């Protein structure tokens, strides 16, 4: 299990309007975004039965669909919040969907993307803006 | 846009944190916490559903049975008091306008009347349809009692115990598709042994103002039974496992009763009702579509309108699909061409652009253990 040496604090993540979260870190090759779905989104979905992950190596654009989560009631597409190349996916997740609800910001990460363009980051929300969106939807 | 109608139990649902949705113009709970938990509680103990959105039409007067006989695919004039019958309402082409339950009831003061329970989504349509037929009948009064009453469904192996503690009538003696006008704590209450889950169970009709009290009494009297409030989400997964059709999915004006495997609910002999002659013709022609049950490989769920294929050729369409909480696999109902409707027939379903293997299986998908 990869350890990043930081405690995940959901207040320090960025969020998309479609409920994906983004955690950024720098390495020698540039910026890498770890991406998952928020606790609010998982709570809204409930009764998850299936999840599809993207292929490692795929180039993805911000706003592009990269996978889906399916609940008893409905299917929800997942949208990439960033532009870049997918360098890792959490392949254990589809067999342990409960992790998405139990630990959405750490063990429930979905994919890592090496950014090729940072302009999409400006469209993401900080925690307080995202909380506001959730309270309006909830 | 019209404001959504609220059932007399609406505030309770909201207080419990239910997720409320617009269903046929009503604000209804789709789930309280988890559809799967509510589904399993119904199969193992009991689920309680607010189904007050269902339309309840009452017919009084000496001509009510004759009127109903003129609009229903099945005769109801031979229904003894206390009996209930499933029937269809069809249009002149034999298309299904609604599927309904007709009750013949007797009050404690021996007054006889008929009650028709219709789908919420079809209530206005059926009321208008009946009014055109009523115009010629002066010995029947129809009243839409939906908003003055509430309807509560108690389903599952513990339902007998729960309803026994609630009402005066000895409901353990009530046969399947039988109903009785009785009391719950001195207030009028109609109880029927009916449901839409594949479980043993009861449906209660009470006055709107009594509904919150009945609901509370039921939970109070049923501690330790495993009783759980369940929403429309679980109602849908339960009826789907039980292989029961739902209007707007398996049933519509473009589907005839034989395609829907509801031939048992059509009586053509010596009858006259809208669609009767069309149905005589349809019955004698080769069937064009058949309702089937499908089990899918993998975990992706087929949904309404997904295409069903055989060797790459479209042969049908999914009408309902879910992930079965009991079977733990995706199940669906579909209309397919008769040539591919045999049991075990290998088909594929196109789910958002990708094909998934499926096979025809018998309906219902789930049958409750005998002896319950």
> What is the fold, at CATH topology level, of the domain defined by A13-118?
OB fold (Dihydrolipoamide Acetyltransferase, E2P) (2.40.50)
Whether residue A72 and residue B233 make contact (CB cut-off 8 A), yes or no, is: yes
B29 Cβ under 8 Å from any chain A Cβ:
no
Nearest CA in chain A to B320: A73
Residue B372: what pLDDT? 47
- CATH of the domain spanning B286-372: 2.40.30.110
A46 Cβ under 8 Å from any chain B Cβ:
yes
Burial class (CB in 10 A: 0-12, 13-18, 19+), A63: middle
Instruction: Convert the pLDDT of each residue in B352-372 to its tens digit.
Output: 999 999 999 999 999 999 764
Instruction: Convert the pLDDT of each residue in B166-209 to its tens digit.
Output: 999 999 999 999 999 999 999 999 999 999 999 999 999 999 99
Check pLDDT > 60 for residue A3: no
Instruction: Convert the pLDDT of each residue in A38-63 to its tens digit.
Output: 999 999 999 999 999 999 999 999 99
B329 Cβ under 8 Å from any chain A Cβ:
no
Residue A6: what pLDDT? 54
For residues B304-314, give the mean pLDDT.
97
Nearest CA in chain B to A68: B300
Interface ipTM: 0.85
Task: Report how far residue B51's alpha carbon sits from residue A110's, in angstroms, rounded to the nearest whole number.
Answer: 39
Residue B51: what pLDDT? 98
Alpha-carbon gap: A72 to the closest alpha carbon of chain B (Å): 5
Residues of B with CB below 8 A from A52's CB? 300
Whether residue A72 and residue B300 make contact (CB cut-off 8 A), yes or no, is: no
Residue A112: how many other CB atoms lie within 10 Å: 20
A137 Cβ under 8 Å from any chain B Cβ:
no
Check pLDDT > 70 for residue B1: no
Q: Which of B30, B233, B300 sits opposite A70 (nearest CB)?
A: B300
In chain A, where are the structural domains located? 13-118
Return mean pLDDT, chain A.
92
Check pLDDT > 80 for residue A96: yes
Q: Tell whether omega for the bond before A29 is within 30 degrees of 0, i.e. cis.
A: no
Whether residue B323 and residue A46 make contact (CB cut-off 8 A), yes or no, is: no
Whether residue B233 and residue A49 make contact (CB cut-off 8 A), yes or no, is: no
> What is the fold, at CATH topology level, of the domain defined by B5-54+147-241?
Gyrase A; domain 2 (3.30.1360)
In chain B, where are the structural domains located? 5-54+147-241, 56-144, 286-372
What does the angle CA A12 – CA A128 – CA A120 come to, to the nearest 5 degrees?
Answer: 65
For residues B296-315, give the mean pLDDT.
97
- CATH of the domain spanning B56-144: 3.30.70.1400
Q: Is the pTM of this model over 0.90?
A: yes
Whether residue B325 and residue A72 make contact (CB cut-off 8 A), yes or no, is: yes
């Amino acid at each position: 299990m990869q350890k990043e040496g930081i405690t995940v604090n959901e207040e320090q993540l960025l969020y998309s309007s479609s409920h994906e979260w983004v955690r950024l870190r720098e390495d020698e090759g540039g910026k890498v975004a770890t991406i998952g779905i928020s606790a609010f989104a998982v709570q809204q979905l409930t009764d998850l039965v299936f999840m599809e992950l993207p292929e490692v190596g795929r180039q993805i654009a911000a706003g592009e669909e990269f996978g889906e989560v399916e609940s008893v009631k409905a299917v929800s597409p997942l949208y990439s919040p960033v532009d870049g190349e997918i360098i890792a996916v959490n392949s254990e997740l589809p067999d342990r969907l409960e992790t998405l609800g139990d630990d959405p910001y750490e063990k429930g990460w979905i994919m890592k993307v090496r950014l090729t363009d940072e302009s999409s980051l400006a469209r993401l929300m900080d925690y307080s803006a995202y909380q506001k969106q959730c309270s309006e939807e909830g | 846009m019209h404001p959504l109608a609220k059932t007399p139990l609406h505030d309770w649902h909201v207080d419990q944190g239910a997720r409320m949705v617009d269903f046929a113009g009503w604000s209804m709970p789709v789930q309280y916490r988890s559809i799967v938990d509510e589904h399993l509680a119904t199969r193992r103990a009991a689920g309680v559903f607010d189904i007050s959105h269902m339309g309840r039409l009452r017919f009084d007067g000496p001509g009510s049975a004759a009127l109903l006989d003129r609009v229903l695919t099945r005769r109801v004039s031979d229904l003894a008091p206390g009996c209930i019958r499933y029937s269809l309402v069809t249009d002149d082409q034999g298309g299904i306008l609604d599927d309904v339950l007709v009750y013949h009831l007797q009050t404690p003061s021996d007054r006889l009347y008929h009650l028709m329970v219709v789908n919420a989504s079809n209530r206005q349509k059926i009321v208008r349809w009946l009014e055109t037929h009523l115009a010629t009948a002066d010995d029947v009064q129809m009243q839409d009692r939906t908003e003055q009453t509430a309807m509560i469904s108690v389903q599952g192996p513990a339902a007998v115990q729960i309803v026994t503690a609630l009402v005066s009538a000895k409901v353990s003696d009530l046969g399947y598709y039988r109903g009785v006008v009785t009391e719950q704590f001195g207030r009028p209450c109609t109880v029927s042994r009916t449901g839409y889950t594949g479980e043993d169970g009861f449906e209660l009709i009470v006055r709107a103002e009594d509904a919150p009290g009945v609901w509370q009494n039921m939970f109070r009297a049923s501690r330790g039974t495993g009783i759980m409030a369940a929403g429309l989400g679980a109602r849908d997964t339960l009826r789907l496992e039980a292989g029961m059709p739902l209007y707007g999915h398996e049933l519509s004006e473009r589907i005839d009763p034989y395609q829907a495997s509801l031939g048992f609910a059509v009586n053509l002999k010596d009858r006259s009702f809208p669609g009767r002659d069309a149905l005589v013709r349809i019955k004698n022609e080769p069937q064009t579509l058949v309702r089937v049950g499908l089990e899918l490989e993998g975990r992706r769920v087929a949904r309404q309108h997904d295409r069903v294929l055989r060797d790459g050729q479209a042969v049908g369409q999914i009408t309902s699909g879910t992930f079965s909480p009991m079977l733990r696999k995706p199940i669906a109902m579909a209309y397919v061409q008769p040539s591919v409707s045999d049991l075990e027939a290998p088909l594929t379903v196109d789910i958002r652009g990708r094909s998934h293997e499926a096979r025809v299986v018998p309906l219902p998908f789930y049958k409750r253990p005998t002896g319950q």
